Amino acid sequence: MHELSLVSSILNIIDDYAGREGFEHVNSLQLSCGKLSGVDPQCLQFAFEVQSKDTRAEGAILKLDILPAIIHCLNCGRNSEVDRIEIRCPECGAEEVLLTGGTEELQLLELDVD
């Protein structure tokens, strides 16, 4: 499960911050990732609960922002939100499209700590 290694790198980042800023406990953390990044929110939540035991982040609320998948059409110039990777512009039907959003890796945006 891909999520286990993601969570352990997030926990390492939290440890680094704690070392520098001296907080004791994490209340909540805000993460984001692209819709097409392959992160399963439920697996992530589960992995977090298991791996955060006995760490500063135990019991913290995990918030995950899913960034939409966006394709940009080179023909009509419009951006469209899609559910999966499309090879055709939903607006004009052209096939000259670029995927411009949705593949972002998991990122830690914010920590609320005590």
Give the shortest CB-15-to-Zn ion separation in angstroms: 46
| Neighbour count for residue 8 (Cβ, 10 Å) | 12
Longest CA pairwise span in the chain (Å): 54
Nearer to Zn ion, 11 or 76 (CB): 76
Q: How many residues touch Zn ion (CB under 5 A)?
A: 7
For residues 61 and 74, which CB has a smaller minimum distance to Zn ion in the complex? Answer: 74
C-alpha 63/C-alpha 88 separation (Å) is 32
Strands annotated E in the chain: 26-34, 61-67, 69-73, 79-82, 97-101, 107-113
- Tokens 């819709």 -> residue: 35
Residue nearer to Zn ion on the CB measure, 79 or 107:
79
Binding mask 66-105 for Zn ion (x = CB under 5 A): -------x-xx------------x-xx-x-----------
Binding site for Zn ion (CB under 5 A): 73, 75-76, 89, 91-92, 94
